[in-house]
Amino acid sequence: VRLEVFFTPEELTGGDIRDHVAVVIDVLRATSVIAQAMSSGARTIYPVATTEEAVRLGQNLDRSELILCGERGGLRIEGFHLGNSPLEFTPEAVGNRVLVMSTTNGTPALMAALPARRTLVAAFLNLGAVAQSVANEDAITIVCAGREGHFALEDAVCAGMFVERVMNLGAGSYELNDCALAALALANRFAGELDAMLRVSAAGRQLIGIGQEQDLVYCGGVDQLTVVPRLEDRRITV
């Protein structure tokens, strides 16, 4: 079984993943928000890269069920219904709604993973559910969102815990790339202190700086959700 991790979407560029299952991770906060929104009953999520794209796409959708959400610099985009805190995505706010979501790092990672045969969305929140659903696959590619082309500690740790889960569930022998070997070691080091790890990470420090510390605690909750969001034709469903 091939089990490969990429620390940034850029690292994956050019790789042929058509026969792979891809898993996208952006712990702070896009994939945590996606897991939370789908778990709260959102019907579908359209991830887009820019505010303009979100507005444009929103104009083609039924306004009565549309929710525009997303962040710039961590804060809600002006005129949008919701920001990028998973705590906002309650059943009351998003149940049965269609979401258009603009995120800085999450969208490029999702688009990089789109060519895969199947593309799933994972975070600490739904780690076990997604691991379970790929456990019998032959080739698994895990794409970390990172931060604007840079390595992000929290995504690498989550990727490592994901790799560990898959290996514990499966029976075969595994072929890991260098990132997967490193991610496993990072998971081993930080799994017991996710909250402290999130606080020291660059993304975590930025969230604390803008007063969204409560999101850190929430996004560090392992296996709180059982949803397995899937990206297909540029939209996410369950």
Minimum Å distance from CB 141 to its own copies?
13
Work out whether 185 is an interface residue with its own copies (CB under 8 A). yes
Q: Which 33-62 residues touch its own copies, going by CB under 8 A? A: none
Taking the C-alpha atoms of residue 148 and residue 151, their distance in angstroms, rounded to an integer, is 9
Element (H, E) at 52: helix 51-59
Minimum Å distance from CB 11 to its own copies?
6
Which pair of structure tokens corresponds to residue 47? 């991830």
Taking the CB of residue 43, how many other CB atoms lie within 10 A of it?
16
Which of 50, 189, 209, 217 lies at the binding interface for its own copies (CB under 8 A)?
189
Nearer to its own copies, 153 or 236 (CB): 153
Which pair of structure tokens corresponds to residue 98? 């269609």
φ/ψ of 109, rounded to 5, equals: -70, -45
Work out whether 1 is an interface residue with its own copies (CB under 8 A). no
> What residue has token string 């790092």?
105
Minimum Å distance from CB 146 to its own copies?
9
Please write down the HEC assignment for all residues of 78-141.
CCCCECCCHHHCCHHHHCCCEEEEECCCHHHHHHHHCCCCEEEEECHHHHHHHHHHHCCCCEEE
- Estimate to the nearest angstrom the gap between the alpha carbon of 138 and the chain centroid: 22
Applying CB under 8 A, the span of 3-11, 26-34, 82-90, 106-114 interacting with its own copies comes to: 3-11
Minimum Å distance from CB 196 to its own copies?
11
Nearer to its own copies, 31 or 224 (CB): 31
Q: Which 127-156 residues touch its own copies, going by CB under 8 A? A: 147, 149-153, 156
Nearer to its own copies, 201 or 224 (CB): 201
Tell me which residue of 12, 4, 13, 20 sits closest to 181, measured CA to CA: 4
Applying CB under 8 A, the span of 109-117, 128-136, 177-185, 210-218 interacting with its own copies comes to: 177-185
Nearer to its own copies, 11 or 88 (CB): 11
* Binding region for its own copies (CB under 8 A): 6-8, 10-11, 13, 147, 149-153, 156, 177-179, 181-182, 185-186, 188-190, 200-202
